[in-house]
Structure formats: C-alpha cells, structure tokens
C-alpha cells in the first residue's frame, strides 16, 4: 500500500475568488484511502514560462480557465494531453474548434429546439485584401430584409463565436437589421429568432455530472443576473434541463459549461450553450459560489484520485444513432443523457463523494463564515467596483453568502449555521 500525492493545477487568468476558496477548502479535507492507497492532494497554480515539449508534466488534473483565449497556456495544455495524458477541464481541442456556430448545428441535429438561426457572411473586409477579393468574386447577392422576414422579429444579431467581446444586438425592425449588419463590418454573425414571449430564463451550470439550475435575468446588472430563487421549475422540467446540459457537455467533451434556455409554451429552447469558461466570480454568482466551489472540488478530486483518462475522441456516433430513431424528442434526450452519465462515470463519482468527501459540506459551510473568506470577497469587489462602493457591495455579496449558509444548514439538518 502506498502514500500517493495527486497534483491539481489551477490554470488561471483574472480569477481571484474561487481559486482561493478552492485551495483553502481542499487543504482541510482528509486524505482519500482508495484501494488501500492513501491519496493526498496538492493544489498549485500553473505558471506561464518556456517549456520543452518533451518535458513531463507533473500535474494529474488541471482546471483550465485560459484555453479559450490565452494561447501559451492553451498550447501547453494541449501538449500535456497529447504527450503526458493529462486530464483537463475542459477538452481544449473541442473548446478551441467549436464556435457557437458548430454547437448550434450539432444540437439541431440531435433535435434540441434551438431557435431558427442563420449565418450571415461578413459585410465587408479591407479593400484590396484577399478576403475582400474573395467576397467580391463569390458572394451571392441576397435580400437581407427577406431573411429578416423569414426569421421573424424580434431577433438577435450575435457574433458566431460568442458575444463576450462584441456583444449581442436585439433587432425589432428591418431598419434595425440593416443598421446592425452594416455596423458588423468584418465580423461573422448569426441572426437568431428571439424566443418571445417567454416566461422563464434558466441558466444550467454543470461541473461533471453535477448541475445547478439558476433563474437568470440577462437584462439586470452583472452582479444581479443570477437570481436567488427556488421551485421555479417542477421535477420533470428539472430533469429535462439536467439531461440537456449533460448531453451538450459530453457531446463536446466539456466538464464545466453552462446552458441558457428560455421557456416558451412549456418548451425550453436553448439559446447559448458553448460557454466553456462560465462566469465563476463571487461578484456575479454570489449566493451560488459555494455550490460551484464544492462542485469543482468533488469532480477534480474524483478525476485525480481515480486517474480518470482524458477522452480525446469525442465519438459522436452514439448520439447520432439515437437522433436517427423515430421516437419522441424527450425519449431521445433521455438516451443522450444516459450516454452522458455513463461517460461521466456518474455512479462511481457519486459513490466516491459519499465515501470520501462526506465532510465537504460541513467544511464548506464553516469556511464561508470565516474572516478570510469575507476578505477574499472584498478583494474581488475592490477589483471591479469604485472605492466608494467597495464596502457596500462587499456587505451585499457577503450577505448573500450568509443566506446560502442558512439554507445550506437547513439542508444539512443543522439548527444553527
């Protein structure tokens, strides 16, 4: 029997709060005894530096927050998977390759009720460039107004690779459409029918097989979009949303992703679900941040302790075989979700958590009552808000975490949080 240390790396950008929460809580957990071996977990932050492509990687698992935008870390992570068998949240190859466009097309093929979506060629490029010459030579003239009429107003103009840098524009009239397309310039854009009216906007946040359903208001300020609400979906709807986000995640090889869906006439229509680097900050998630930290701890420790292999082959044929069956969509979605839960080793994961991480809930509950946790919240607030607002917003976010402690204590059967 051996004493083994598994190394977990945090590959970070501007994240400040959740990594420290994660490190502090993991440090309080007991070692895991698995198969007679005692497994300890060492957590450190991945640095950025030159590396030899043949240099072995010392990490067993990396929680990646940089693949989508920081090229040096992205290439190191890809090398580490290919050369060293590193397990990474998320698959960097699919995350780099699968723009919103591909994710829409793939889920349409599986039958998910994605709103009608069109791709528009760029309006123009710089004159005399090969791109503009190609556009001049081969672009087929089209009637933008007719496309708008076929989709129906209102609609949204969205960058094909996401809205984080450019944004999403709501279009209510043909005049809006022509103006927005003109302003889009060289960008490749989608037009997507708005799901209106709708009576519920849900963001399903998933880490491994764990899913948290959160009512969401995209029109609110960033710190107020994730609502604190309970019972806004029934059991059948919750199961459907769980199945939907796990299907999406495992189809693309993503351990950590979110799915936005709008409910219209009782049907949840997914509108944005290629979010391989979901918001993880206390200044937006507030009440929900302890859930996220625990979910990351559970999944990453399970992957490290069990030497979970990285799935480099996405293997879509299992999903496509179900998609081709002549059965109702809800049965197809259940079939996809069964594939998802098998790929995520859900039964083994749940057994691992029950056996080896039974004290995580209590440790987390106590941790989020500490002065250090509150200081971390304040430090994060200070990076985003003007000095005169730091005290007020620190109290606001800390108050929401304290409310989480009250509800968590109730769930654990404790009379005093």
Q: Which residues of the chain have a pLDDT value below 70?
A: 163-166
pLDDT value at residue 164: 47
pLDDT value at residue 281: 95
Is domain 116-193 given the CATH code 3.30.1490.20 in the classification? yes
User: What is the secondary structure of 167-220 as a DSSP string?
Assistant: --EEE-SHHHHHHHHHHHTT--EEEEE---S-SEEEEEEEETTEEEEEEB-TTS
Token pair 């829409």 in the structure block, residue: 104
pLDDT value at residue 257: 95
Domain extent listing, the chain: 3-97, 98-114+198-275+309-344, 116-193
Q: Residues 93, 312: contact at Cβ < 8 Å?
A: yes
pLDDT value at residue 40: 97
Beta strand segments in 46-154, E: 61-64, 87-89, 117-120
Beta strand segments in 226-344, E: 256-264, 267-272
Q: Residues 77, 59: contact at Cβ < 8 Å?
A: no
CATH annotation of 98-114+198-275+309-344 = 3.30.470.20
Helix (H, G, I), strand (E, B) or coil at 133: helix
CA–CA dist 192, 120 (Å, integer)? 11
Is domain 3-97 given the CATH code 3.40.50 in the classification? yes
pLDDT tens per residue, range 343-372:
999 999 999 999 999 999 999 999 999 999
Residue 197, preceding bond cis, omega within 30 degrees?
yes
Report phi then psi at 147, rounded to 5: -60, -45
Nearest CA among 238, 274, 270, 269 for reference residue 253: 274
> CA–CA distance from 105 to each of 116, 160, 177, 271, 325 (Å)?
11, 12, 23, 12, 18
pLDDT value at residue 135: 72
pLDDT value at residue 165: 47
Burial label, 300 (beta-carbon count in 10 A; 0-12, 13-18, 19+): buried
Residues found in the chain: 417
pLDDT value at residue 364: 98
Q: Residues 56, 327: contact at Cβ < 8 Å?
A: no
Nearest CA among 74, 96, 76 for reference residue 84: 76
Decide if 3-97 and 116-193 have a common fold: no
pLDDT tens per residue, range 248-301:
999 999 999 999 999 999 999 999 998 888 889 999 999 999 999 999 999 999
pLDDT value at residue 187: 84
Reported for 231-238, long-range contacts at CB under 8 A and 24+ positions apart, including other chains, are 232/200, 232/202, 233/200, 233/202, 237/263, 237/268, 238/213
pLDDT value at residue 160: 83
pLDDT value at residue 274: 87
CA–CA dist 40, 36 (Å, integer)? 13
CA–CA dist 192, 115 (Å, integer)? 7
């Amino acid at each position: 029997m051996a004493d083994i240390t598994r190394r977990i790396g945090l590959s970070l950008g501007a994240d400040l709060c959740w990594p420290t929460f994660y490190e502090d809580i993991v440090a309080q957990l007991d070692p895991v005894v698995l198969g007679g071996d005692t497994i300890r977990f060492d957590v450190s932050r991945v640095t950025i530096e030159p590396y030899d492509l043949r240099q072995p990687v010392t990490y067993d698992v990396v929680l990646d927050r940089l693949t989508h935008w920081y090229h040096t870390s992205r290439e190191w992570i890809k090398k580490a998977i290919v050369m060293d068998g590193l397990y990474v949240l998320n698959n960097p190859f699919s995350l780099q390759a699968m723009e919103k466009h591909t994710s829409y097309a793939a889920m349409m093929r599986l039958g998910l009720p994605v709103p009608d979506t069109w791709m528009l060629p760029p309006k123009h490029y710089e004159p005399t460039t090969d791109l503009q010459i190609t556009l001049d030579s081969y672009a087929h003239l089209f009637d933008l107004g007719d496309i708008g009429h076929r989709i129906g107003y209102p609609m949204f103009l969205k960058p094909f690779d996401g809205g984080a840098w450019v944004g999403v524009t709501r279009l209510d009239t043909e005049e809006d459409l022509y103006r927005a397309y003109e302003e889009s310039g060289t960008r490749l854009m989608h037009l997507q029918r708005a799901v209106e009216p709708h009576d519920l906007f849900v963001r399903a946040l998933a880490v491994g097989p764990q899913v948290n359903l959160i009512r969401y208001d995209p029109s609110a300020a960033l710190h107020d979009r994730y609502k604190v609400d309970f019972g806004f979906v029934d059991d059948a709807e919750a199961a459907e949303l769980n199945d939907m986000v796990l299907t999406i995640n495992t189809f693309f090889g993503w351990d950590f992703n979110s799915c936005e869906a709008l409910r219209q006439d009782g049907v949840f229509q997914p509108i944005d679900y290629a979010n391989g680097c979901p918001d993880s900050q206390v200044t937006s998630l507030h009440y929900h941040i302890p859930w996220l930290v625990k979910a990351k701890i559970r999944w990453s420790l399970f992957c490290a302790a069990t030497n979970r292999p990285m799935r480099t082959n996405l293997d879509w044929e299992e999903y496509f075989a179900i998609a081709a069956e002549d059965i109702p969509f809800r049965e197809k979605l259940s079939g996809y979700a069964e594939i998802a839960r098998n790929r995520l080793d859900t039964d083994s994961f749940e057994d691992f958590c029950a056996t080896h991480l039974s004290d995580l809930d209590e440790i987390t509950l106590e941790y989020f009552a500490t002065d250090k946790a509150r200081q971390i919240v304040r430090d994060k607030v200070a990076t985003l808000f003007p000095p005169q607002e730091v005290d007020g917003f620190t109290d606001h976010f800390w108050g929401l975490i304290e409310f989480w402690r009250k509800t968590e204590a109730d769930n654990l059967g404790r009379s005093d949080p």
